[in-house]
Structure 1
Amino acid sequence: MEWTTELLEKMKVNLASGIPAVARTGIEILELEKGYVKMKMPLEGNVNHVQMMYAGSLFTLAELPGGAIFATSFDSRRFYPIVRDMSIRFRRPAKTDITVEVRLDETKAAEVAAEAEREGKADYDWNCELKDETGEIVAITHNIYQLRKIGS
Structure 2
Amino acid sequence: MTDVLTEQTEMVHAVVPILGQMGLEVLVAEPGRAAARIPTGPNVNHFGVAYAGSLFSVAEMLGGIIGGFFQVPGAIPIVKRLEIDFTRPAMTAATASTTLSEEEQARVQSEATETGKANFELLTEVVGEDGTVVARTHGFYQLRVMG
After TM superposition, the score normalised by the length of structure 1 is 0.86
Structure 1 residue ranges (4+ consecutive) displaced by more than 3 angstroms after TM superposition: 5-9
* Structure 1 residues 55 and 97: alpha-carbon distance in aligned structure 2, compared to 1, 3 A threshold: same
- Alpha-carbon RMSD across the aligned residues, in angstroms, is 1.8
Alignment TM-score, normalising by the size of structure 2 = 0.89
Structure-2 change in CA distance of 1:94 and 1:130 (3 Å): same
Identify the match of residue 12 of structure 2 among 1, 15, 24: 15
Matches within 5 A, 1:49-88: 49-71=46-68, 73-75=69-71, 77-88=73-84
Matched, 1:112 2:108: yes
Q: Is the 8 A contact 1:37 1:68 kept in 2?
A: yes
1:107 CA displacement: 2.7
Q: Distance in 2 between matches of 1:98 and 1:7?
A: 21
Residues 11 and 77 (structure 1), Cα distance of their counterparts in 2 relative to 1, 3 Å cut: farther
Distance of 1:48 and 1:25 partners within structure 2: 12
Q: Give the SS at the match of 2:42.
A: coil
What is the one-letter code of the residue matched to 2:43?
N
Which of residues 3, 28, 32 is equivalent to 1:31? Answer: 28
| Local SS of the residue matching 2:64 | helix
> Residue type matched to 2:7 in 1?
K
Maintained 8 Å contact 1:88/1:139: yes
Whether 1:149 aligns to 2:145 is yes
Q: What residue ranges of structure 1 are gaps of 5+ in the alignment?
A: none
- Between the aligned partners of 2:7 and 2:43, the Cα distance in structure 1 is 25
SS at match of 2:41: coil
107, 125, 132: which one pairs with 1:129? 125
Aligned-pair CA distance for 1:17: 4.2
Unaligned runs of 5+ in 2: none
Answer with 81-90 or 16-25: which moved more.
16-25
